[in-house]
Amino acid sequence: MQRDSTLLAERRRVVGLGLLMLASGGLAACTTTGPTGTPTAIAKRNEIDAEVNTTLTKLYETAPGSRELVQRASGVLVFPSVIRVSFGIGGAHGNGALRGKDGRTLGYYTVNAASIGLQAGAQSQAAVYLFMTPEALQHFRESNGWTAGVDATVAVAKVGANGRIDTANAQQPVIAFVMTNAGLAAGVALEGAKVTPMSA
């Protein structure tokens, strides 16, 4: 009888420990902050931020006068790598970040388009959109999916004869730069590029 009592007490102790471990695991699972706070999502955003810094540095080196334009902008949307996802009539896709006048990241976005000006043989390009007025930036942030050429006319920046950015279109509410490994891309079309908040 004594032995049976001891066995029963031991089983209860093991079951109790098991339940305690299950409960602890359940509580730990309940304390997660959701998809946007997972290590993977945070790492992805950190990677985008680093790529945005690299892209802006390359822009400043490639296009004299671009730094001044960026500093004047109310917001800067940078897609470090817009990759062609298929050949021929394919599409293009990329992730990027929107930064405010103070350089702080305001949000993360995805761009999808028929081409984003990708020329034959070009696999990847960077696209930088400058929202030159507070109104243009506000319209972008409040839109439920923003499309270049539909929600706003986008003036593609060009380099003038003096090797600096041509300021003729610098008065437009939205200005864009498109870069390849060789430098600024000329004669590109951005109409139809649709930008939406990046999913977790």
What are 99-137's pLDDT values in tens digits?
A: 999 999 999 999 987 655 544 455 678 999 999 999 999
**Number of neighbours of residue 116 by Cβ within 10 angstroms:** 28
Q: Distance (Å, rounded) from C-alpha 127 to C-alpha 150?
A: 17
CB 37, CB 200: distance < 8 Å? no
pLDDT in tens, 128-182: 999 999 999 999 999 878 888 777 777 777 666 566 676 565 678 999 888 887 7
Pair type for strands 155-156 and 174-180: parallel
Q: Residue 124: its pLDDT value, please?
A: 79
